[in-house]
Structure 1
Amino acid sequence: MGSYYMGIDTSAYTTSIAVVDEFHKLMFDGRALLKVKHGDRGLRQQEAIFQHISNIPCIIDSLSNEIDISKIKTVSASVKPRNNKESYMPVFKVAQGQAFIISKIINSEYKEFSHQEGHIAAGVLGSNLINSEKFLAFHISGGTTELLLVEDNIRNYSIKIIGGTRDISAGQLIDRIGVKLDLMFPCGKEMDILSSDGFIVQKKIPINTYGTWINFSGAESFFYRIIEEKIYSKKDISNSVFFCVANSLANVVIQAIKLYDINDVLIIGGVASNTFLREVLCEKINKSGLGNVYFPIESYCTDNAIGTAFLGAVKDGEKTFGGL
């Protein structure tokens, strides 16, 4: 009888439960987006926690109708944003508590990972990086824009921040401009659709990078100004925001490839699903021969528990990817 591995992730805006089998095939992927009032730029932690607690029973009910729960060998949780002692966010306590309770009830193993490790694992799953022991990863989501040096260890990833943003994240820039354009938060998906029919504004867009670091606050002020001018359409502004983000990211990725002499770069997080960003990074890095940029499939970019479930299956005392 085969084994299943469950993962639970309760991030800032998504309740997620996933199950993979011993061959890392996805058996269940249940998610519920948290609801944000129109015009708001996010949720307070207590609001998010309440929605997570409300969502989990519904997802578990669907899971129990689709798979044999008795085959679950490990239940894993994303318990904090990053893999360091100081990292903490209240929403992840929901996943931690629910995963622990479930593991005890069904008499399975219980494991803990960080939300960032889950994103990395979801990106690695199905890519050529599954056998890589060292690579670069760019985590780009609603609250995070971090360039990472990743090494695969037996129990957890070794992750070192080597670049990213010094002020607001790429996701925050996108969402703040989107809300200013009267779009529903989070705004990335709608802006991606709008941008496909837009053009870059005929002004010098600020792209502020130095080494492996980015500043987006200047770009935020720039886009606020041109929105107030009411000259450009939402489509053109959306296209221009992604132009700014994509070229900023490309600049620092190229610098990191040269600085660390590592050619493989994994782009993870919700913003990694953006069409424009993928095209620019592939054009500037893959096609230029500077390195190899990998993207997860779109559904693996946004917050999910697939990577957490996968880690529960492979982080079991043996070498993770080299030994598969």
Structure 2
Amino acid sequence: MKVLGIESSCDETGVAIYDTEKGLLSEALYSQVAMHAEYGGVVPELASRDHIRKIVPLIRETVKNAGMTMQDLEGIAYTSGPGLIGALMVGASVGRTMAWSLGIPALAVHHMEGHLLAPMLEEDAPECPFVALLVSGGHTMLVEVKAIGDYKILGESVDDAVGEAFDKTAKLMGLSYPGGPELAALAEKGKPTDIKFPRPMVNRPGLDFSFSGLKTAALLAWEKSAQTDEAKADIAYAFQEAIVDTLFIKCDRALKQTGHKRLIVAGGVGANKRLRERLNDLGVEVFFPRQAFCTDNGAMIAYAGALRLAAGQQEPAVISPQPRWSLETLTGLPEAV
């Protein structure tokens, strides 16, 4: 089954075609980072308008690169949430309209299920059950995955997500937008010093996270420092180590709690080199998507949608994006398949 996937939940327009028999046929991605950099963060209205401008040309490009025509498509999957309501409306409206005009089914996909399943696009795809660490700009959570659609949230951030903490801390230290990748790159130039940041919520039971206090700790350290390039790099190093240590401890705890021997890591922060290096020391199988599939992309939506459409899942032909949507409300694949 050839399925077109559309991702438009925030500031990236992603389109891809996934074939359940041949795999990923083509994909294209447009990032709005340069546009939002002027404002130091994502401006929702501008994001929506840019999705409108880019989405149709990207769809045409992706279909052409797959050696197909629109009539060859057998299904359409689009991100329905969580995300920015205006941005979600663009993808949902285009996806549903195309499906209606072509007489093929369309399916609303949960953005975080897309991330969770992204490692399955690789040749060494993990098998269920496993624990998933989802770490992005908007979400940080540990999820027990017994089967596709059978998800239990073990813990999540009570305030800032990891990516958000990276971005905000980078901004406090004067780094340009998007700050997270810049701070991570700067941390590679830093070294261990007497700067000590807390590892939030690791000394209490449970698997929830809290990262907002680390921003304050980093700001205070920066204000007390000589504010040189060397000091900035050392603070970035200490900050990243605190984040990575916290994630390592919680992942280890989640694996022991569930008894699972596989961990998958997905989301934008999953591209962090130090995090990948450290989690590989857990003593279990650890799976990451390729760097390009860590951030938002159409391939993960096409794949997640293709699994459900091929299994016979159907939905009413309505446009109803969900800016807030719990992963636990999803259902498993139809039992007939």
> Does TM, normalized by the shorter one, top 0.5?
yes
Q: Secondary structure at the match of 1:131?
A: coil
Question: Whole-Å Cα distance in 2 between the matches of residues 277 and 323 of structure 1?
Answer: 39
Q: Any residues of structure 2 matched to 1:1-324 within 5 Å, and which?
A: 3-35=1-33, 36-38=35-37, 40-67=39-66, 68-69=68-69, 70-81=71-82, 89-126=85-122, 128-132=124-128, 134-153=129-148, 157-208=149-200, 209=202, 210=204, 211-231=206-226, 232-283=230-281, 285=282, 289=283, 291-315=284-308, 316-317=310-311
* 8 Å contact kept, 1:147–1:163: yes
Question: Whole-Å Cα distance in 1 between the matches of residues 290 and 136 of structure 2?
Answer: 15
Residue 56 of structure 1: CA displacement? 0.8
Q: Secondary structure at the match of 2:280?
A: helix
Question: Whole-Å Cα distance in 2 between the matches of residues 27 and 183 of structure 1?
Answer: 38
TM-score, normalisation: structure 1: 0.86
Question: Whole-Å Cα distance in 2 between the matches of residues 263 and 58 of structure 1?
Answer: 43
TM-score, normalisation: structure 2: 0.83
Residue 241 of structure 1: CA displacement? 2.3
Cα shift readout 1:141-189 (whole Å, capped 9, x = no counterpart):
0011111122324xxx132221122221111110001112322322222
Q: CA-atom RMSD, angstroms?
A: 2.5
Question: Whole-Å Cα distance in 2 between the matches of residues 221 and 25 of structure 1?
Answer: 45
Larger CA deviation: 15-24 vs 273-282: 15-24
Larger CA deviation: 203-212 vs 57-66: 57-66
Partner of residue 84, structure 1 = none
* 8 Å contact kept, 1:200–1:237: no
Q: Secondary structure at the match of 1:30?
A: strand
- Give me the identity figure in percent: 24
* 8 Å contact kept, 2:10–2:84: no
Question: Whole-Å Cα distance in 2 between the matches of residues 251 and 23 of structure 1?
Answer: 39
Question: Whole-Å Cα distance in 2 between the matches of residues 171 and 203 of structure 1?
Answer: 22
More strand by share: 1
Q: Secondary structure at the match of 1:177?
A: helix
Can you give the 5+ residue segments of structure 2 that lack an aligned partner in the other structure? 313-331
Q: Secondary structure at the match of 1:184?
A: coil
* 8 Å contact kept, 2:44–2:84: no
Residues paired across the two proteins, number: 307
Residue 258 of structure 1: CA displacement? 1.4
Residue 41 of structure 1: CA displacement? 4.4
Residue 80 of structure 1: CA displacement? 0.9
Question: Whole-Å Cα distance in 1 between the matches of residues 178 and 198 of structure 2?
Answer: 23
